Amino acid sequence: MKFFALIETAAGSGQYALGASVIEADSTGAALTQIGAGVDAGLRYGAWPYRELRGLPAFAAPAADEVGKAYTVLAQATGADQLFVADGQTLTSTLCDASNLCLSMQAYMGFRVGLMPADEAPAAKPATSGGSTDAGASDAGSPASDAKG
């Protein structure tokens, strides 16, 4: 699947900016691991699943290491030019990866929906070199306001 990073705009702000770099990963957990490696200390992060084509991916059971992982839903409900914020929902990878549920929600609600680990704490270590999430960059390289993606 394809993902874009969601990085907290400031420590404890609860608002997440959409990054510009595409991340390829097999599951939500794998994407978050990649994103987390490049997050500055004190910030939290999430992932926005992206699908280039209309419709939903074919059903597939989640990988064994993904089953049971819970994620807090981050929504960009007020417009594509706004930040993502937690909306109070939690999705869990049980019968399918939580990102597939996220894509379904986007198609139904008409706005972007992302995920962060339900127990997410701010990053404790400095970002490592190699691989940037481009969290502070413009999302010109990301899909426009097409939430149904």
Mean pLDDT over 108-126 rounds to 82
pLDDT at 126: 52
| CA–CA distance, 86 with 117 (Å, rounded to integer) | 11
Question: Closest by alpha carbon to 149, among 104, 87, 115?
Answer: 104
| CA–CA distance, 122 with 125 (Å, rounded to integer) | 9
Choose between 113 and 58: higher pLDDT: 113
- Tell me the angle at which helices 98-109 and 28-36 cross, rounded to the nearest 10 degrees: 100
Highest mean pLDDT among 49-53, 77-81, 138-142 belongs to 77-81
pLDDT at 129: 45
Summarised one tens digit per residue, pLDDT across range 135-145 is 444 343 444 44
Contact between 85 and 9 under an 8 Å Cβ cutoff? The reply is: no
Average pLDDT across the chain, whole number: 82
pLDDT at 136: 41
